[in-house]
Structure 1
Amino acid sequence: MNNPLLSKEHCDYIKVSVESDLATVTLDRVEKRNAFNLEMWQEIKSAFTSLHENHDIKCVVIRGGDDKYFGVGADISEFEKHRKNSQSASSYGKIMHGAMHSIQSCCHPVIARISGLCIGGALELALMCDIRICSTSSKFGVPINKLGLVMAYPEIAALVRVVGPSTALEILYEGKILDAKEAKDKGLVNRVVGEPELDQEISDLVISICDGAPLVNRWHKKFVYNLLGKGMRVDSLSNEELSEGFECYDTEDFNIGVNSFLNKTSPKFKGK
């Protein structure tokens, strides 16, 4: 008998477009308000695995296909089929967590462009991104205690990493839907801008990122998450890991950057 968690049909809920240095990943199950189902998680992992291997891009933006919804959380209607007990939920969780891990482990900077509802699994996904920028219309929350559901360890780790343990528990205990200002105050997002300014804010950030040396951005992302995984203990790093902090001096981009600085010109980095 085929395992429904292993057989994936092409549903095209996740759309990827690449323009110059930027890849845009669009969550496009808008007819269901971007309620996350099994196929979406599978397609997210596939998309970010491919982007990780594409070194022609320098930045990734993930967004909703409709500005009313970044995502409203899990598709409850599929629970009976895929998450009706601890065993099936555990199998589902491995796929979901694999998708989330593919975002955090993607070597490129990943920005979440958030507009509208960002609830439950959508917020958990956004927490895996490096930077979160939202519009003033955005709403956030994880009201899963109202459903009798637990946030599993991988998502808990991301939430605690972003807002700290006390605020994480406050968000989970209350199950409250937060407006954009409250989300910013609690550290869930980096910036809040008006709806008309959101795309320009994202564009300006993307340009700043892409103007930098791509290898350096990838190293910095790797170093930050590596340190977090080791409890911020530099003394736990291996000699090989410590040496990686000096490999930039052997790159072509290092010479380009230094020469451009000395000659007062704008560097054109090659990612080499």
Structure 2
Amino acid sequence: MLPPAHPALGTDKMLSRKAGGVGWMIFNNPERHNAVSMEMWLAAEQILTDFAADPEVRVLVVTGAGGKAFVSGADISKFESERGSAEAVAAYQAQTAKVYEALADFPKPTIAAIRGHCIGGGSALAVCCDMRMATEKSTFGIPAAKLGLGYPLPGIRRLVHLVGPSFAKELFFSAKKFSAEDARIMGLVNRVVPDDALDALVEDYAATIAGNAPLTVASVKAIVAEALKPDPDEALCDRLVRGCFASQDYIEGRRAFMEKRAPQFTGS
């Protein structure tokens, strides 16, 4: 049983919890299918900053409350108050970009646990995660072309890296909703399971990753990011690999293997 989640930054629309090496960031606006307001984006930034700095958190899970949606995008009911002028649009876009970048660059593994609608900003948020696990009835879509919205380069680049240019164009050009199986075929999600199996799947992956060697996991995350760049920092990659072999965790991993026991990694 997971411990209760707590409100972040004074709003009950964003919740967080820490348990067993896993941090959970929960979008909690179920009456609006977890549509996101400015106050929620601000709280999300705070949660990510806290989790990134906490050595006890080795994995981050991002999910939505209520069972009907992961995140359904921006809260359109707040467009007039939060995005009614050019200045307000710029401020909103800057804050969402901060959260997307903080999640995409998060130094630890990230998992999106998707149940229900994953639309617009929800899809952009999920794409920022390292892995996406979804239920069979989840739906995905980017309705920007039906709303006249523009999408900046970083978000489109992340999507193209994930699904390729053709599927990225299909998602944007059509603005259609796609099934979880469609998303799996595109490469948008890693796993699709029945609704009642999602929690166990995500908790198992998160616990497994949290129990693995943090330096190895972090090095692979960083090296994959470099591999996607046209001019990767090979010196950085080499340092990360050498750091793994020079660590106490490498000694512990060898000893645990020889002694036929589970290793106890410390990240040092």
1:239 is displaced (CA, Å) by: 2.9
Is residue 2:170 matched to residue 1:170? yes
Q: Which residue of 2 aligns with 1:250?
A: 246
Is residue 2:31 matched to residue 1:31? yes
1:214-233 matches, cutoff 5 A: 214-228=214-228, 230-231=229-230, 233=231
Q: Aligned equivalents of 1:88 and 1:64: distance in 2?
A: 26
* Alpha-carbon spacing, 1:183–1:270, altered in 2? closer, same or farther (3 Å): same
Superposed CA deviations along residues 54-95 of structure 1, whole A, max 9, x for unmatched, are: 111221111111111112111112222332344432221111
Amino acid paired to 1:136: E
Q: Which residue of 1 aligns with 2:183?
A: 183
Q: Aligned equivalents of 1:268 and 1:119: distance in 2?
A: 39
Q: Aligned equivalents of 1:224 and 1:86: distance in 2?
A: 37
Give the secondary structure class of the aligned counterpart of 1:172.
Answer: helix
Q: Which residue of 2 aligns with 1:100?
A: 100
Q: Which residue of 2 aligns with 1:47?
A: 47
Give the secondary structure class of the aligned counterpart of 2:12.
Answer: coil
Q: Which residue of 2 aligns with 1:264?
A: 260
Give the secondary structure class of the aligned counterpart of 1:78.
Answer: helix
Amino acid paired to 1:213: A
1:193-212 matches, cutoff 5 A: 193-212=193-212
Any unmatched runs of 5+ in structure 2? 1-8
Q: Which residue of 1 aligns with 2:70?
A: 70
Q: Aligned equivalents of 1:162 and 1:76: distance in 2?
A: 27
1:268 is displaced (CA, Å) by: 1.1
* Alpha-carbon spacing, 1:238–1:195, altered in 2? closer, same or farther (3 Å): closer
Give the secondary structure class of the aligned counterpart of 1:181.
Answer: helix
What TM-score results when the alignment is normalised by the length of structure 1? 0.90
Q: Aligned equivalents of 2:66 and 2:77: distance in 1?
A: 21
Between the aligned residues of both structures, percent identity stands at: 32
Amino acid paired to 1:49: T
Q: Which residue of 2 aligns with 1:149?
A: 149
What TM-score results when the alignment is normalised by the length of structure 2? 0.92
Q: Is the 8 A contact 1:133 1:191 kept in 2?
A: yes
Q: Is the 8 A contact 1:45 1:98 kept in 2?
A: yes
Q: Which residue of 2 aligns with 1:131?
A: 131
Q: Is the 8 A contact 2:253 2:263 kept in 1?
A: yes
Q: Aligned equivalents of 2:265 and 2:235: distance in 1?
A: 28
1:219 is displaced (CA, Å) by: 1.7
Between 1:172-181 and 1:78-87, the stretch displaced more is 78-87
Q: Aligned equivalents of 2:140 and 2:103: distance in 1?
A: 20
1:259 is displaced (CA, Å) by: 1.3
1:243 is displaced (CA, Å) by: 2.3
Amino acid paired to 1:265: R
Any unmatched runs of 5+ in structure 1? 1-8
1:98 is displaced (CA, Å) by: 0.3
Q: Aligned equivalents of 1:238 and 1:19: distance in 2?
A: 35
Q: Is the 8 A contact 2:219 2:237 kept in 1?
A: no
Q: Aligned equivalents of 2:139 and 2:72: distance in 1?
A: 10
Q: Is the 8 A contact 2:30 2:68 kept in 1?
A: no
Q: How many residue pairs get matched?
A: 261
Amino acid paired to 1:263: E
Q: Aligned equivalents of 2:238 and 2:86: distance in 1?
A: 41
